[in-house]
Amino acid sequence: MKISSTTPHYMNQTYANQANAANQNLKSQKTTDEVANETKADSINFSDRTKDLQKITKAMENDPIDRKKLVADLKQQVETNQYTVNADTVAQRMVGSLMDEVG
């Protein structure tokens, strides 16, 4: 029986391919720590006070010309006794504000 010189080479290639495939499988499998780290995301939680300050800042960015016009219109209505207050609306907003504070 004659063994050619290509037979060991073929066997070595097969073994090398199997070893490479096993190595790739090990590399592709992730540890639970790696998976857990991937699902974590950075987040920021602002305090209620900071959120309020952000709202105030955003409100201040409104065009002051519109605000001045609104104030001038309200002044004129008050001076000419045309400004009326809706008591129901005021009461609802007061109760809503108190409920927000209480929780």
Highest mean pLDDT among 2-11, 12-21, 48-57 belongs to: 48-57
Single-letter amino acid, residue 25: N
Q: How far is CA 90 from CA 31, 56, 67, in A?
A: 60, 22, 21
Name the percent of the chain lying above pLDDT 70. Answer: 59
Provide the residue ranges of all domains of the chain, joining segments of one domain with +: 48-102
CB 46 within 8 A of CB 54: yes
Rounded CA-CA distance 4/10 in Å is: 11
Q: Over range 90-96, report the average pLDDT.
A: 93
- pLDDT at residue 20, rounded to an integer: 66
